[in-house]
Amino acid sequence: MTLLANMTWAQNLPEPLRQPWRQTRLQAADVSLLVKEVGGPTLISLNPEVPRNPASVMKLVTTWAGLSGLGPAYRWRTSLMARADAQIGADGTLQGPLYVKASGDPFFTVEQLWALLRELRLRGVKNLNEVVVDRSLFGKVEIDPEAFDASGDRPYNASPDAMMVGWGAVRVLFLPDEAARKWVPVVDPPVPGVRFDGEVAWSRGQCTGSPTAGIRLYSEGEQLRVALSGTAPGACGEFSVYRLAQSQGQHFETLFRMLWKELGGTLGRGFTEGRVPSRGRTLVWHDSVPLADVIRLINKQSNNVMARMLLLTLGAEVNGSGATASSGAKAAMALLRQQGVDLRGWQLENGSGLSREERLTASGLAAMLEAAWKSSSMPEYLSSLAISGVDGTMRRRLRDEEVRGAAHLKTGTLRDSRALAGYVLGASGKRYIVVSLANGQQSAGINPFHDTLIAWLASQ
């Protein structure tokens, strides 16, 4: 688009949006924008058919495909099983292996694992010969956490795994030693072979927000090095930082061993991977929270690994065990195609938006949002989005009284990509769909325009 065309398009914007657009210093060719009334006319349209990287706005697609394909009441069941003929001895020894049937639950927590193992103890099991983990629901889905941006210890880079616990992250807890004026770091769960390098300095200033502790985890053989830096005011009190320290499989084994030992159990030969026998017997199980609750966590907090897990689950439910990101993407695209969504130019890689390859069009995404609005699952979907000025990724934006609470949105942020999409309730009672996708080195400049756009729609 030429400079003249760029200026002409800006002049065609509603007057309150013209100057905010000019201040972005963006070329119109780098932006796709579509604003329309639900069930009504289009208000603003710019490059609606151009595929662009949506960053985390891709989660809107994954969560809607999951919700419409699986239903809001869908739950994941994680089971502890044994051979059909296995007995529990008088001393609490389970004959044969304990089988863990992994379900791909994206929100299976440490507390829930503890409760599941406690249920096993209540049924008289104390001594285990070995633990066999059945991850066959998913295929080869492990990723290198370093691959995307060389920040492999950050939880947003966590690899999916059919038996994921607490997103695979450990907590580095900093306890204040006021007498010595220093911070005492502790890793939870206590990963073997931890070594701390450096320290977080203690300061006497006021606590004005989250401490700026620098933490970097490195694996060196069987040893885990935790490099510490930065400064934290003692006035902040104890605080925690979450990091990835092990693979998902190692993390699960570490947690299982720790919790089983705390519950008074013993374990003989250790852990292997395998399949539950065809005539396996379920001893205890845990059912997850319903999918309607899970998608709130995915969208409001923009959780990458949970989005990946949902896409894999959809693939497994549609195509059977051995699901991959590719089979999940095909299942999602087929569902959306049945709903009449134009998918030309779309590309789903992992469903989280943490990708340089994923692409959406503003027109296609707007059509999907319209289809979702007309669905019986609309209330669950709408409630999963961040509310302007209230919660999730929008809690610090659009806090003025006129717009606070008026919009349900999903944001997206990557290097060279900024995106925003969702629904806005106007003062007239009309509901609007907005999709904005900006790519390029100047894309970060569009955020103030986004805020002005949403505030303008809320006033209509």
| Same domain for 327 and 283 | no
Q: How confident is the model at residue 6 (pLDDT cuts 50, 70, 90)?
A: low
Total number of domains in the chain? 3
354 and 220 in a single domain? The answer is no
Please write the tens of the pLDDT for every residue from 121-157: 999 999 999 999 999 999 999 999 999 999 999 999 9
**Are 432 and 319 in a shared domain?**
yes
Do 370 and 396 fall within a single domain? yes
With residue 224 as reference, give the H or E element that holds it: strand 223-229
What is the C-alpha separation between 419 and 61, in angstroms, rounded? 14
pLDDT of residue 400: 92
Q: Which residues have CB under 8 Å from 148's CB, separation 6+? A: 157, 354
Residue closest to 406 by CA, chosen among 380, 376, 432, 381 = 432
Q: What is the mean pLDDT of the chain?
A: 94
Read out DSSP for 234-251?
A: GGG-SEEEEEE-S-HHHH
Domain that holds residue 226: 167-244
Specify if 156 maps to a domain.
Answer: no
Question: Does 35 fall in a domain?
Answer: yes
Residues 220 and 271 placed together within one structural domain of the fold:
no
Digit-coded pLDDT (tens) for 357-411: 999 999 999 999 999 999 999 999 999 999 999 999 999 999 999 999 999 999 9
Is the domain of 342 the same as that of 432? yes
Its pTM surpasses 0.75: yes
What is the number of residues in the chain? 460
Asked if the structure places residue 152 within a domain, the reply is: no
121: domain CATH number is: 3.50.80.20
Q: Do 258 and 295 sit in the same domain of this protein?
A: no
- For residues 175 and 238, the answer to whether their CB atoms sit within 8 Å is yes
Asked whether residue 297 is domain-assigned, the answer is yes
Q: What is the pLDDT of residues 433-445, one digit of tens each?
A: 999 999 999 999 9
Alpha carbons 157 and 163: distance in angstroms, whole number: 17
Spatial distance between the Cα atoms of 248 and 166, rounded to a whole number of angstroms = 10
Q: Note whether 261 and 175 are same-domain residues.
A: no
Domain co-membership, 357 together with 301:
yes
Instruction: Please give the single-letter amino acid code of residue 342.
Output: D
pLDDT for 179 beyond 50: yes
The separation between CA 324 and the C-alpha centre of its own chain, rounded to angstroms, equals 17
| Residue 7's CATH number | 3.40.710.10
Name the pLDDT band for 189 (thresholds 50, 70, 90): confident
Domain boundary (212, 244, 276) is at 244
Mean pLDDT calculated for residue range 293-319: 98
End-to-end CA distance of the chain: 30
How far apart (Å, rounded) are the C-alpha atoms in residues 245 and 319?
33
Sheet hosting strand 127-134, strand order edge to edge: 266-273, 127-134, 98-101, 77-82, 281-287
State both tokens at 266: 């013993």
- Has residue 417 got a pLDDT over 90? yes
Q: Are residues 421 and 336 in the same domain?
A: yes
Q: Identify whether 153 is part of a domain.
A: no
What confidence score (pLDDT) does residue 106 get?
Answer: 98
Give the span between the Cα atoms of 17 and 359, in whole angstroms.
26
In tens, the pLDDT along 194-244 reads 889 999 999 998 998 888 788 988 777 777 889 999 999 999 999 999 999
Closest CA to 417 of 389, 447, 387, 438: 438
Domain membership flag for residue 158: no
188 & 44 share domain: no
For residue 84, pLDDT over 90 is answered with yes
Last residue of a domain, one of 266, 287, 308: 287
Phi, psi torsion values for 193, nearest 5 degrees? 75, 35
Q: Is residue 369 assigned to a domain?
A: yes
Structure tokens at 29: 């060719």
Would you say the C-alpha torsion 331, 332, 334, 335 has a positive or negative sign?
A: positive
Q: Is the pLDDT of residue 1 over 90?
A: no
**Judgement on whether residues 126 and 263 belong to the same structural domain of the protein:** yes
**162 occurs within a structural domain:** no
Report the Cα 402 to chain-centroid distance in Å.
30
Backbone angles phi, psi at 433, to 5 degrees: -105, 135
Which residue in this structure is represented by tokens 């290198």?
Answer: 144
Tokens of 263: 């519950």
Distance CA 273, CA 245 (A): 21
Tokens standing for 402?
A: 């006129």
